[in-house]
Structure 1
């Protein structure tokens, strides 16, 4: 058998595996990824070693087909802006070694840039699409292990946004768990590192860092390097965030837990 045929066979085994360990990636642009995207909206196509593809890491495409995952993970999901490196592949590669004996790791990208928490309400298009994609991801077998959520920059424009954020986030968590029939679904939320108005940034971060909901943990993005726009994480920062998310998952919800 040729090497190419062997690789193809391995890929098909992973894609058709009934034992996928599935992670939903959702929120806004820092989850979908702008790492390596310049001022002219061109991605530099630089993929760090930590984000390289692996036949055991899959993504659910916009057409609801499993395929080998590679950067940009959200290329056909967050389509109104140019996507670059996000935290998904660094997370997947960091977790993969621990989950490899169980089955392939599947990513379900759902994040869309510039979206406020109110746009993720139960009757909104973004939410419905996320639930549709999550349900589709397990039809051929597998288990949804966690939702990774990075969103909030668009909710730093007013005091009212901050005041209502916690209630809307808690409602989102409950809705997802109810609609996926996963009452204890782990949620790993990222505390934002940037926003639209500095006056409200720290207040929203406080809300995110101090939420007390079962099986919800928070990873802090503060201090991670921002690009020229002071809003989006650099490629290097996205890799670091991916590792933080992986550590949070493995320490709180991993196979040994």
Structure 2
């Protein structure tokens, strides 16, 4: 097996969006309880790209030094990698690149803005050691707060996907996006309709609706994050993993 010091080619996955991607599972009153489900246990074949652009063994919270002004806990990244790893060729390494920032609207992810530029920069740096296989994107709660943002969401998301593919020079890069489980009730269905209605090549949607939320009615609980990670892995396996991988 590969480890952080003997790195060859990696299966690289970009984790981006807002707080339900960076992870709030197990976080209460600004403190993470430290509980790590079996699906999130560290493994020397699952790596994390740090804020200082180095590789280390991945463990939750994956985004602690990226979404650094918030308290991060369990997210979908580790259960995704844990579920996917056994389906890859023996000796494979999954490399996760955390980029999500809590509380961000899609307009903050436009090409040329700080969050977008950082995501592209980190993705390019990480790709020096492997191949970017997909972007996992969970964002949109912040865009349910106004009718204008909700109405514009589909166009903005399509533009975002196209820009990322162009700037990474990966024009068929898979995107697995998550349809919202929470948000402002007045506009959430409009954003969900946009997410579920994206019709672009190599873009699939996993629906988080119905997954259990924490007491804040906004963030997925730890159990839900594990379930979502498994759903994301299943989507990647079913849509993008070659039988001969």
1:1-257, aligned counterparts within 5 Å? 11-12=3-4, 15-38=5-28, 40-101=29-90, 103-139=92-128, 141-195=129-183, 197-256=184-243
Q: What's the secondary structure of 2:32's corresponding residue? A: coil
More divergent stretch after superposition (159-168 vs 225-234): 159-168
Work out which of the two has the higher radius of gyration on C-alpha atoms and give 1 or 2: 1
Aligned equivalents of 1:135, 1:60: Cα separation in 2: 12
Contact (CA 8 Å) 1:108, 1:133: kept in 2 or not? yes
Q: What's the secondary structure of 1:11's corresponding residue? A: coil
What are the superposed Cα offsets for residues 141-184 of structure 1, whole Å, 9 maximum, x if unpaired?
21000000000000001111111111110111011100111000
Residues 1:190 and 1:83: Cα distance change in structure 2 (over 3 Å) = same
Residues 1:146 and 1:102: Cα distance change in structure 2 (over 3 Å) = farther
- Relative to the length of structure 2, the TM-score reads 0.97
Q: What's the secondary structure of 1:54's corresponding residue? A: coil
Unmatched segments (≥5 aa) in structure 2:
none
Contact (CA 8 Å) 2:10, 2:93: kept in 1 or not? yes
After TM superposition, which residue ranges in structure 1, 4 or more long, deviate above 3 angstroms?
Answer: none
Aligned residues: 244
Contact (CA 8 Å) 2:40, 2:60: kept in 1 or not? yes
Q: What's the secondary structure of 2:31's corresponding residue? A: coil
Unmatched segments (≥5 aa) in structure 1:
1-8
More divergent stretch after superposition (162-171 vs 106-115): 162-171
What are the superposed Cα offsets for residues 24-70 of structure 1, whole Å, 9 maximum, x if unpaired?
000000000000001x2110000000110100000000000000000
Aligned equivalents of 1:17, 1:142: Cα separation in 2: 9
Q: How far is 1:100 from its partner? A: 4.2
